[in-house]
Amino acid sequence: MENIIEIKGIRKVYRVGSEKVVALDNIDLSIGKGEICCLLGTSGSGKSTLLNLMAGLEKPSRGEIIIKNIHVEKLDEKRLVLFRQKYIGFVFQSYNLLPSLTALENVGLPLAFKGIPRRIRDKKSKQMLHSVGLTSHNNRKPSQMSGGQQQRVGIARAFVGNPEIVFADEPTGNLDSKTTSEVMNLITDIARKSNQTLIIVTHDTNIAKYADRIIHILDGNIEKIEAVTPLGAITN
């Protein structure tokens, strides 16, 4: 499998007053193209920090993050914005929909940022809303939808531009168990059909079982990596 992400010797240290807090310590990790990986750990383990570093939302204190042969840690903010527009999609725990926009408009935002004409982005957005089961919700605003429906809009927005990598940070944290299962099946099915790399951050072992590999993060280090079989059994 071709690697799309290479992490080499990553360390992240935060200053809290006069203290230094080590969030990540010497992380090495490779993620293949089309692979579904889960970063699993408790609150404060460093899993969200690792995702933020891969997405270029934070800079490492030391080490390399190479995505599509691009050194993300060396990009300035302007190039990071273009990098994310071209290659990255995001699914957030809190949905992050703009309340004043309809579902169709929210889904089309990544395309609007790329300068794609409205007629084309509306067509693509309608197709994505149909694929997540919200054909009749095009003109509804977030306040007119349930949490599960809002997260489906968030998924449609993440995938509408056909990004090669999608980061999902606690994507079901605000959902009930039935909706959680529906959302996870939806995210993983879309990613697998398009051979997209999906990286999920969670503290929930049940969510982790949707991945091909589980990367256990503990105290800023990779504790272990497990492979998940199609039946959900886990092997070292």
Quote the mean pLDDT of the chain: 93
Residue 218, domain CATH: 3.40.50.300
Contacts of 88 (CB under 8 A, 6+ apart): 55, 163, 165, 166, 167
In a domain, 214, yes or no: yes
In a domain, 170, yes or no: yes
Strand 19-32's sheet: what is its strand order? 19-32, 3-16, 62-67, 70-71
User: Does pLDDT of 83 surpass 90?
Assistant: yes
In a domain, 19, yes or no: no
The pLDDT of residue 48 is: 93
Q: Which pTM was predicted? A: 0.91
Residue 229: which pLDDT band, with cuts at 50, 70 and 90? confident
Q: What is the mean pLDDT of residues 182-205?
A: 94
The pLDDT of residue 231 is: 44
User: In the chain, how many domains are there?
Assistant: 1
For 2-38, what is each residue's pLDDT tens digit? 999 999 999 999 998 889 999 999 999 999 999 999 9
In a domain, 28, yes or no: no
Specify whether the CB–CB gap between 147 and 179 falls below 8 A: yes
